[in-house]
Chain A
Amino acid sequence: MRSRLRPGDLFGLGLRGLAARPARAVLTAIGIAIGIAAIVAVIGISASGRADLIATLDRLGTNLLRITPGGGVLGTGSEVPEEARVMAARIGPVQSATQTTQVAATVRRNDLIGELETGGIAVLATRLDLLDELGGSLQEGRFIDDATGRVPAVVLGSVAARRLGIADLDPRPRVFMDGTWFTVIGILEPLELHPDVERSVLIGYPVAENLYDTTESPTTLYVRADPEFLNDVAEVIPATVNPQAPDAVDVTRPSDALQARQAADEALTNLLIGLGAVALLVAGVAIANIMVMSVLERRTEIGVRRALGATKRHIRLQFLFESVLLSGIGGVAGTALGAAITVAYAANRDLTLAVPPEGVALSIGAALLVGAVAGLYPAWRAARIPPAEAVRK
């Protein structure tokens, strides 16, 4: 002779309890929904942003070192040996090395423009593999090759092209460089991690040597190495490329900037998730508050249920379940809202959409947990009401 409540009936009781006061249920669930929506949206947006960032990092690689071996403390520095690149390439884990050298020339749209109006555009002599090494691509035309490197042909960085007012290769634009007309044979796409190259025009070493006496002493060296030994390579490179003044050599890793951005994104994401969690906590307190009120209002119902044979546990479960159901509804609504926000944001910003399922599961779980914790005290109070007192007139 035991009291028994079927799980399905418990579900029905919870649902009915909420349906009896729909406006109150909706208002209370909104609190949870806002908290969850914030968390899901933050997770989704940051995951979408990160997906793009990771894709960029994957494409560009994180194992490229940029070495500027000139300089020196007072900017005078010593001449870097022409063999610097070859020396660097001989370091075990180095996979490839390329370079550019600053050319002592200015570039102008035509010969009528004043010599000093260079627009801050540098002229660089480049090796033929530079574009591949930097992970860049051409917007139009082609890069310097064996043939075009010997003649007055030039490839424009994206910013340099804009500053020179050259949007495309039609009709065969030319630029004027210290007395010689160069034919533009290519325009680069933006190079995310190499703003200095974007602001330069590139010509071949042979033509640079012929016209401007440029040597092969590198202004900038690019070295790609086995990621595992990247730090070791970075350590030995200064002495290798400029044995006379290793202290004057700067070694940087362009992808560090992206990784710093990623770290900053993560910190901001964590902060926003924290704010969402606070919202959730506040919503939990609101649920507890509403449930306590509900218990007070429903004393008679509780008494009648006890008289009909409900055990304390049944009463406790009824109110606990009602609370969990309330927060669960809020959680599901919030997740849908958060996902919608993420989709809209990703579409607007042209990001790769990524709503991590584990994040969604976790936030719904958090909502249910908040509901369960919030319902504990009201449920305990409901169960403690003596039946004889609750049915008193």
Chain B
Amino acid sequence: MTPPVLRLSDVSKAYPGPPEVRAVDGVDLAVAPGELLAVMGPSGSGKSTLLNVMGALDRVTAGTVAIDGVDIATLSDRQLSGLRSHKIGFVFQDFFLIEGLDATANVAEGLLYRGIRRRERRARAVAALERVGLGHRLHHRPNQLSGGERQRVAIARALVGEPSIVFADEPTGNLDSHTSEDIAELFAALNAEGTTIVVITHERELAARFPRIVELDDGRVVGERSR
């Protein structure tokens, strides 16, 4: 069996109170390479906190998070940054694109902290945009793109560095249902090409489209289904 890309062992994250809030409480989870799964739960169930600790944006209170076999608790802040730049891609609900930059430049920002030359960054950004079906929108700025297109740019930015794992936080939260379907299909297609993707969502319908669903409530895993 291949070792998991991501392994959470009895992970808890508490925010100091009073009253102390245990946003994530004893979660065990393993994601194998090439998996596509949804972490689903109602708002306030601890999804975003879980995403932050899975994506090495935040540290855990208890338990261990290992990415590609490395326990991130042993890494310095600087090493965590290095890990994020090489191994992890993020897609946010609000896209978080840089307004003044065109699609290519926005995607190229995904390689900025790798020390890669600008020319190569742009070449790879163009390739990533073509992968998400935006080959015809290379030089459009975010405000010239539709919501779905913007999210595709954000997805291309997450993919451009060929990370081990991509986390998408409510990627369809700001999109209409038709566009949401397109994005879900895009994730499926990218996954078919080998990208490991974890989608965090509260939408049952969206989650249902993915091969594996982990249900979260009150900071705990309350159910798991695979198709």
Contacts and interface: CB of A to CB of B under 8 A. Distances in A.
Interface of A: 1-6, 8-9, 12, 16, 19-20, 300-301, 303-314, 386-388, 391-393
A387 B93 CA distance: 16
A303 B112 CA distance: 14
B180 interface: no
A2 B81 CA distance: 7
Interface string B76-116: 01110111111110101110101111000000011011110
A300 B96 contact: yes
Interface string B113-144: 11101100000000000000000000000000
Given A1-B83, A309-B82, A393-B48, 20 more contacts: A3-B78, A4-B113, A6-B115, A9-B112, A9-B118, A12-B118, A308-B85, A308-B109, A309-B81, A309-B84, A309-B86, A309-B112, A309-B113, A310-B85, A311-B78, A312-B77, A312-B78, A387-B57, A391-B92, A393-B94
A3 B48 contact: no
Contacts of B93: 393
Interface of B: 48, 52, 55, 57-58, 77-79, 81-88, 90, 92-94, 96, 98-101, 109-110, 112-115, 117-118, 157, 170
Nearest to B68: A1
A5 B118 CA distance: 11
B82 A1 contact: yes
Contacts of B98: 301
A16 B100 contact: yes
B176 to A, nearest CB: 18
B77 A311 contact: yes
B78 to A, nearest CB: 5
B81 A391 contact: no
A3 B94 contact: no
Contact of A3 (B82, B96, B110): B82
B117 A6 contact: yes
A264 B79 CA distance: 61
B137 to A, nearest CB: 20
Contacts of B118: 8-9, 12
A392 B48 contact: yes
Given A1-B86, A5-B115, A20-B100, A308 B110 contact: yes
Contacts of B84: 3, 306-309
Contact of A4 (B110, B115, B157): B115
Contacts of B112: 5, 9, 305, 308-310
A300 B181 CA distance: 27
Nearest to B112: A9
A170 B162 CA distance: 97
B170 to A, nearest CB: 8
Contacts of B83: 1
Given A307-B57, A392-B48, A3 B114 contact: yes
A388 B58 contact: yes
Contacts of A4: 113-115
Contacts of B90: 304, 307-308, 391
A12 B194 CA distance: 34
A391 B57 contact: yes
Contacts of B48: 392-393
Contacts of B58: 386-388
Contacts of A304: 90, 92, 96
B123 to A, nearest CB: 16
9 contacts: A5-B115, A6-B117, A303-B96, A308-B85, A308-B90, A310-B113, A312-B77, A312-B81, A393-B94
A307 B55 contact: yes
Contact of B81 (A300, A311, A386, A392): A311
Given A19-B100, A388-B58, A309 B77 contact: no
Nearest to A392: B48
A20 B141 CA distance: 14
Contacts of B87: 1
Nearest to A6: B115
B78 A388 contact: no
Contacts of A19: 100
Given A19-B100, A307-B57, A313-B78, A5 B94 contact: no
A302 B48 CA distance: 18
